[in-house]
Structure 1
């Protein structure tokens, strides 16, 4: 169904649903993302396939290096490893389905799979919010209190903070999902987005969704805004500490690193605020799909570049592993 056909069909729907009419419940949904780019499906397939492969390989290398190299068993790299694993999972929830749609027009998704995708995606997004705020706190302690850092950021503490981020992330969307599951879906079943997400799904419900929107926005505001506020506070204090560094080169290097970190964090948080912290069910497919690309595709792509691949310790660990493999090959 093209965009024009969809508008005609949508206009033909009754504005009020009568309680005396029996509707057939929806058993599957149709993913109809990027309606203005339907003629470029093959091009989009190769573009997103390249992005997905780079995201998986970049984050996968970092995760394995942190796991295998003893020198990287520190709080900072422990959180970086968590972030890499999270980003691999995050992109794998949405991009493979999008690639299947672009390549073979496999755009249907079952009712159960749609809600499962939505729950896992929202859980991972909430987990990343919490994890990024914890990472900002870790950098704040390391830069502002370097002498006390080993005694503050103990193994027990950073393991506990990671557990809180993951458990809190997966607990956050439970209420939102439960309320959405209680809604009746009787048609239409076309989701104008490239994955099952809460705002576009609510538009398909055959009931008043104002309560769902209010609850979803409140939960989103609580998690996203508090996490982002903690990140901002941490980086403000970090910048204040950097300005006190007497060495010009040291100040420039530290500020450059923190600025790039904060830029990526902002690219993740600001679109999330736009998408989930708004008290309305209105949804613009093209605009919101492009905005969602920033935190579903761009941020996981940039995280390994900004946080790790430019890092001296990561480079040395990677070169060491490559040298070991080359040495083994030459021996054989």
Structure 2
């Protein structure tokens, strides 16, 4: 989601590492990209030896993201005690988080190990599309989970009748469709553009704003369309989540203390995840506009932000859900080799 809004500064002090003859657009190279044209990913080439520190941090974080979210998917699919709609939506969110981070982090890790990182134009647009689409889909699934919490607290007697399997599948399909709806128009407009040399993407992946700067001609319409769909996705999901929790708050005000505490426990994990997701996005967005940061710092911040929620989701839900903790514990204990009892020598007396 953040890639619709966050702009990496176009002024970069270091571009000499690229095998290009110029760092500015020239009218003589105003041509549409050809199949053999590649984009150069500038990334964090200027960090020097510090790249290895970032590489280790990113690699460990990525391993934790894969392990934690894969465990949630596995236990949600195999443990019959986790058959409630909440864990169905959570497993879908974990799947989105895995693919979402996989679209960028492996490429960034390889870029930290190589001198020059390149990507084909189709590959660049595929990466851009899936990264944004999965970001929007993740927000949409959080919205679906907010609705699930609303039904569970405000209509507990009708919860199972409302949240049937067909309804769950429709809600998830709607989340994915909403992500595609908000992503396809800006991506399609960018795909039809002509791009000028030098083909230098001033980011660690194909960030839309960085790729848009390579387009020949005026891209103000592209920026407006991109911003419009970003606002639609943010406002739609944000308003629906706030509405769900406002209705939950009204319902909780009529409950007794014990019921209120139980309702808070039911919503706590999801509310924490939503707060971190939208809070960190707002912080990064504002800091980009009021702070004077170098391009390298902006890239690192955007990378860490994009990995923050997928990194924390498994921890938050595991800490807040006793059922999930117990299921993970049972699963891990099932992988342990069974204890072999020591042999006893039995001597027979003839």
Structure with larger Rg? 2
Q: Which residue of 2 aligns with 1:318?
A: 328
Matched, 1:261 2:274: no
Q: State the shift of 1:222 in Å.
A: 0.9
TM-score by length of structure 1 reads 0.84
Alignment RMSD (CA, Å)? 3.1
Q: Which 5+ residue runs of structure 2 have no aligned equivalent?
A: 1-10, 342-350
- Name the CA distance, whole Å, in 1 between partners of 2:23 and 2:161: 66
Alignment CA distance shift 1:106-1:266 (3 Å): farther
Q: Which residue of 1 aligns with 2:4?
A: none
Q: Which residue of 2 aligns with 1:99?
A: 109
Q: State the shift of 1:43 in Å.
A: 0.2
- Name the CA distance, whole Å, in 2 between partners of 1:114 and 1:83: 24
Match of residue 4, structure 1, among 7, 13, 24 = 13
Point out the structure with the larger helix share: 1
Match of residue 151, structure 2, among 119, 141, 145 = 141
- Name the CA distance, whole Å, in 2 between partners of 1:72 and 1:267: 25
Q: Which residue of 1 aligns with 2:249?
A: 239
Q: Does the 8 A contact of 1:33 with 1:285 survive in 2?
A: no
Alignment CA distance shift 1:308-1:263 (3 Å): same
Q: Which residue of 1 aligns with 2:129?
A: 119
Which SS does the other structure have where 1:47 is aligned?
Answer: helix
Q: State the shift of 1:246 in Å.
A: 2.5
Q: Which residue of 2 aligns with 1:211?
A: 221
Q: Does the 8 A contact of 1:268 with 1:294 survive in 2?
A: no
> What is the 5 A alignment of 1:102-181?
102-181=112-191
Which SS does the other structure have where 2:195 is aligned?
Answer: coil
Q: Does the 8 A contact of 2:76 with 2:91 survive in 1?
A: yes
Q: State the shift of 1:185 in Å.
A: 0.9
Q: Which 5+ residue runs of structure 1 have no aligned equivalent?
A: none
- Name the CA distance, whole Å, in 2 between partners of 1:12 and 1:78: 50
Q: Does the 8 A contact of 1:3 with 1:35 survive in 2?
A: no
Alignment CA distance shift 1:28-1:22 (3 Å): closer
- Name the CA distance, whole Å, in 1 between partners of 2:234 and 2:327: 34
Match of residue 196, structure 1, among 195, 206, 224 = 206
- Name the CA distance, whole Å, in 2 between partners of 1:38 and 1:132: 39
Q: State the shift of 1:174 in Å.
A: 1.4
Q: Show CA shifts across 1:214-244 (max 9, x none).
A: 1111111111211111111212222343444
- Name the CA distance, whole Å, in 2 between partners of 1:10 and 1:106: 15
Alignment CA distance shift 1:290-1:101 (3 Å): closer
Q: Show CA shifts across 1:82-127 (max 9, x none).
A: 0111111111110001111112345211211111100111111111
Q: Does the 8 A contact of 1:132 with 1:265 survive in 2?
A: yes
93-102 or 181-190: bigger deviation? 181-190
- Name the CA distance, whole Å, in 2 between partners of 1:166 and 1:216: 18
Q: Does the 8 A contact of 2:52 with 2:112 survive in 1?
A: yes
Match of residue 13, structure 1, among 21, 24, 29 = 24
Q: Show CA shifts across 1:130-184 (max 9, x none).
A: 1110011101111122112111111111111111112332343111111101111
TM-score by length of structure 2 reads 0.80
Q: Which residue of 1 aligns with 2:344?
A: none
